[in-house]
């Protein structure tokens, strides 16, 4: 019986161990580097946000005739650009920092914030309207802005910011467009926009390229910030089909075989009762029984 | 009568504020001295009257803007921070310490601007380390400035409220002694350890903040023990 057999060791054989460990060390190093790069990117983005916040504390740069309702185009443009990587929480930080420097929370407003008179921590709001408008709010909330209009403008911008952190955003999110509440469409802007839309000579190649880029964006092929140096390298190759396509016919033998079960087919797979192995097992048992009987 | 009362109250409040500032002033001096910077005894043990005379501004209030001082490290401290020469680099980098500058910041909110200005003052004055003592919390965004300028100057922040008493004088706080790099290697060899095998102390630990510990440094903690008299343990700063 089994007594002649030597017992099988449960320990791992360590042949070819060093080679495996080297490959593994290399892979570990790559993984570590990958994550370190991610963290570095994240730090870079955070630092960029900090610098943007610092810049935006002193806005607006232009003085009269511009005001918060009618900001200078240059200021508005930089404001929108710098705000792109912001999350709503970063925007809140910007508001507090501006308040500390005695400025209205709305970045494009040059006025100092409104000061509530008297002591007390809370204020009653909406005493003149209906009952549902009535609220008790923190005094600090009211001292963030110079006026109701500015509060509206600032919060209008806030809701457009993406909740996802900038380093996790995909391609389509990092190009979000931010609108101001009462953005004046200056005449030159409209003209330029119209000119851009107006294409005199339709370039086929350019249109193709644009189409491909749109498709790639939709599929998520374009790599975002985080995926720029991913661990896996996925390449999709198009399969070239050379021969002429032939329409299927009922005379085809393969097809006619499958014809009676075709209505059960799901995406090319025909399910059956029990797995193949089970069936084979049953057949084996039958044979064994048969041979037992003979013995 | 009523006016008298309110005037009294105001004076008392002023006195209380003065006393608070005086205590913080003394603690921060002790802190600087305990780290090994050179300060004279009369600077550290300033009395309340002298303090009031020195910093009272025009409106009978303590003027925080004048509350600042600097100190240079002693030879002993320089020695404790020197990097020992090794085979790999025979000429070690110079010790990472220098003059310290302490400032009390006024204002009821400290933002990015204040922090930037403080950092600029430090680099402008060629100070290696800066301590900013504030009466209110600093905004989170402003705290992000600290790592951003860490290559030029090291900034530490303390709250006035945290400096009212010197925590290291409390009987339940054992004595912490910073080990030099040589002492650290000797310790690790003596017990055949890697430094990660030591017990740890966090950088944000109140005593670690008091001593200005940095990552990788080792402190010796000397406790009283009923059975052994004194008991020393070592902790790695993480």
Same domain, B47 and B78: yes
Which of A46, A47, A96 has its CB closest to that of B139? Answer: A96
Domain boundaries, chain A: 23-190
pLDDT of A286 > 60? The answer is: no
Same domain, B107 and B184: no
pLDDT band at A294 (very low <50, low <70, confident <90, very high): very low
Please give the average per-residue pLDDT across B46-57, as a whole number: 87
The pLDDT mean for chain A works out to 76
pLDDT at A225: 44
| B residues 173..232 contacting A (CB < 8 A) | none
Chain A within 8 Å of B159 (Cβ-Cβ)?
A: no
pLDDT band at A275 (very low <50, low <70, confident <90, very high): low
Query: How many domains does chain B contain in total?
Result: 2
Read off the CATH number of the domain in which B13 is found: 3.40.1340.10
Please give the average per-residue pLDDT across B48-68, as a whole number: 84
Read off the CATH number of the domain in which B177 is found: 3.90.940.20
Where b means 16+ CB within 10 Å and e means fewer, A207-217 reads eeeeeeeeeee
Which of B110, B141, B145 has its CB closest to that of A93? Answer: B141
pLDDT band at A295 (very low <50, low <70, confident <90, very high): very low
Q: Tell me: the pLDDT tens digits for B206-234? A: 999 999 999 999 999 999 999 989 999 99
Question: Among positive and negative, which fits the CA dihedral B202, B205, B211, B212?
Answer: positive
pLDDT of B65 > 70? The answer is: yes
Same domain, B132 and B224: no
Residue with tokens 């910093």: B55
B144 contacts A46? CB cut-off 8 A: yes
Same domain, B179 and B112: no
Which of B109, B110, B112 has its CB closest to that of A53? Answer: B112
Domain final residue, candidates B142, B165, B188:
B165
Contacts A–B by Cβ distance under 8 A:
34
| B residues 78..117 contacting A (CB < 8 A) | 109-113, 116
| B residues 122..141 contacting A (CB < 8 A) | 139-141
Q: Which residues of B touch A101 (CB under 8 A)?
A: 111, 113
B139 contacts A50? CB cut-off 8 A: no
A101 contacts B113? CB cut-off 8 A: yes
The pLDDT mean for chain B works out to 90
Q: Cis ω on the peptide bond leading into residue A209 (within 30° of 0)?
A: no
Same domain, B181 and B194: yes
Same domain, B67 and B140: yes
pLDDT of A272 > 60? The answer is: yes
- The fraction of chain A above a pLDDT of 70, given in percent, is 70
d(C-alpha B21, C-alpha B160), whole Å: 7
B148 contacts A96? CB cut-off 8 A: no
Please give the average per-residue pLDDT across B71-94, as a whole number: 86
A53 contacts B141? CB cut-off 8 A: yes
pLDDT at A72: 83
d(C-alpha A279, C-alpha A264), whole Å: 20
pLDDT at A224: 47
Enclosing domain of residue B138: 2-54+63-165
Same domain, B151 and B175: no
d(C-alpha A62, C-alpha A59), whole Å: 8
Q: Tell me: the pLDDT tens digits for B178-212? A: 999 999 999 999 999 998 999 999 999 999 999 99
pLDDT at B94: 84
Same domain, B156 and B177: no
Residue B119 DSSP SS3: helix
A103 is written with which tokens?
């400025």
pLDDT at A65: 74
pLDDT at B59: 74
Q: Which residues of B touch A96 (CB under 8 A)?
A: 111, 139, 141
pLDDT of B168 > 90? The answer is: yes
Higher confidence at residue B64 or residue B231?
B231
- The fraction of chain A above a pLDDT of 90, given in percent, is 10
The CA distances from residue A168 to A35, A79, A174, A177, A187, in Å, are: 13, 22, 9, 18, 37
pLDDT at A229: 53
pLDDT band at B93 (very low <50, low <70, confident <90, very high): confident
pLDDT band at A166 (very low <50, low <70, confident <90, very high): confident
Please give the average per-residue pLDDT across A98-124, as a whole number: 86
d(C-alpha A105, C-alpha A57), whole Å: 9
A100 contacts B113? CB cut-off 8 A: yes
Domain final residue, candidates B150, B165, B180:
B165
Which ipTM score applies to this complex? 0.78
pLDDT at A238: 84
Same domain, B219 and B157: no
Please give the average per-residue pLDDT across B17-37, as a whole number: 93
pLDDT of B115 > 70? The answer is: yes
- The fraction of chain B above a pLDDT of 90, given in percent, is 61
Same domain, B128 and B21: yes
Q: Which of A50, A58, A91, A95 to mutate to test the interface with B (most CBs of B within 10 A)?
A: A50
Task: Label residue B133 exposed, middle or buried (CB < 10 Å: 0-12, 13-18, 19+).
Answer: buried
Q: Tell me: the pLDDT tens digits for A52-100? A: 999 998 888 877 777 777 788 888 888 888 888 899 999 999 999 999 8
E strand or H helix at B14, and its extent? helix B2-35
What does residue A251 show for φ and ψ, rounded to 5 degrees? -70, -20
pLDDT of A203 > 70? The answer is: no
Q: Tell me: the pLDDT tens digits for A181-196? A: 776 555 555 566 556 6
What is the residue-wise DSSP string for chain A?
-GGGSPPPP-SPP-TTHHHHHHHHHHHHHHHHHHHHHHHHHHHHHHHHHHHHHHHHHT-----TT-BTTB--HHHHHHHHHHTTT--HHHHHHHHHHHHHTT--SSTT--SPPP---SS-SEEEE-SSS-GGG-EEEEHHHHTT-SSHHHHHHHHHHHTTS-SS-GGG--TTTTT-----TT----HHHHHHHHHHH--SS--HHHHHHHHHHHHHHHHT-S--SGGGG-SS-----PPPP-SPP----TT-HHHHHHGGGGGGEETTEE--SS-HHHHHHHHHHHHHHHHHHH-
Please give the average per-residue pLDDT across B88-106, as a whole number: 87
Instruction: Find, in chain A, the residue whose alpha carbon is nearest to that of B148.
Output: A47
Same domain, B110 and B6: yes
Same domain, B159 and B232: no
Domain final residue, candidates B104, B136, B165:
B165
- Name the CATH architecture for the domain at A23-190: Alpha Horseshoe (1.25)
pLDDT at B164: 94
pLDDT of A1 > 60? The answer is: no
């Amino acid at each position: 019986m089994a007594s002649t057999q030597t017992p099988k060791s449960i320990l791992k054989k360590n042949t070819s161990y060093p080679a495996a460990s080297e490959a593994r060390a290399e892979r570990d190093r790559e993984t570590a580097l990958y994550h370190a790069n991610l963290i570095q990117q994240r730090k870079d983005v955070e630092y960029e946000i900090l610098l943007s916040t610092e810049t935006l504390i002193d806005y607006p740069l232009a003085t009269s005739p511009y005001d918060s309702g009618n900001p200078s185009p240059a200021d508005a443009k930089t404001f929108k650009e710098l705000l792109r990587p912001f999350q709503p929480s970063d925007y809140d930080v910007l508001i507090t920092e501006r308040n500390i420097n005695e400025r209205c929370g709305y970045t494009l407003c040059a006025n100092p914030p409104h000061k509530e008179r008297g002591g007390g921590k809370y204020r009653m709001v909406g005493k003149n309207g209906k009952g549902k408008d009535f609220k008790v709010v923190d005094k600090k909330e009211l001292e963030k802005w110079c006026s109701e209009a500015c509060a509206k403008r600032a919060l209008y911008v806030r809701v457009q910011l993406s909740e996802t952190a900038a380093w996790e955003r995909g391609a389509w999110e990092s190009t979000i467009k931010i609108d101001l509440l009462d953005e004046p469409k200056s005449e030159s802007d409209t003209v330029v926009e119209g000119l851009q839309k107006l294409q005199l000579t339709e370039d086929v190649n350019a249109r193709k390229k644009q189409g491909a880029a749109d498709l790639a964006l939709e599929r998520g092929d374009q790599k975002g910030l985080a995926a720029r140096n991913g661990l896996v390298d996925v390449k999709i190759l198009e399969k070239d089909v050379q021969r002429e396509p032939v329409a299927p016919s009922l005379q085809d033998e393969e097809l006619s075989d499958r014809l009676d079960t075709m209505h059960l087919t799901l995406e090319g797979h025909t399910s059956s009762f029990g797995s193949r192995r089970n069936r084979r097992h049953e057949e084996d048992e039958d044979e064994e029984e048969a041979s037992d009987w003979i013995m | 009568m009523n006016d008298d009362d309110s005037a009294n109250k105001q004076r008392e409040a002023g006195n209380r504020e003065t006393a608070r500032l005086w205590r913080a002033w003394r603690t921060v001096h002790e802190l600087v001295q305990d780290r090994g910077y050179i300060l004279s005894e009369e600077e550290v043990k300033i009395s309340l009257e002298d303090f009031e005379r020195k910093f009272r501004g025009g409106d009978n209030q303590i003027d925080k803007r004048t509350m600042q001082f600097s100190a240079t490290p002693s030879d002993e401290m320089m020695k404790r921070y020197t990097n020992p020469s090794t085979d790999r680099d025979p000429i070690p980098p110079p010790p990472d310490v220098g003059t310290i500058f302490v400032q009390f910041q006024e204002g009821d909110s400290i933002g990015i601007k204040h922090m930037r200005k403080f950092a600029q003052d430090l680099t402008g004055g060629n100070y290696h380390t800066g301590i900013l003592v504030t009466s209110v919390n600093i905004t989170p965004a402003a705290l992000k400035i600290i790592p951003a300028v860490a290559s030029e100057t090291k900034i530490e922040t303390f709250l006035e409220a945290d400096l009212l008493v010197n925590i290291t004088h409390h009987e339940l706080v054992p004595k912490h002694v910073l080990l030099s790099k040589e002492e650290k290697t000797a310790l690790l060899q003596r017990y055949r350890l890697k430094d990660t095998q030591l017990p740890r102390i966090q950088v944000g630990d109140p005593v670690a903040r008091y001593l200005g510990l940095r990552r990788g440094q080792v402190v010796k903690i000397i406790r009283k023990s009923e059975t052994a008299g004194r008991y020393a343990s070592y902790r790695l700063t993480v």
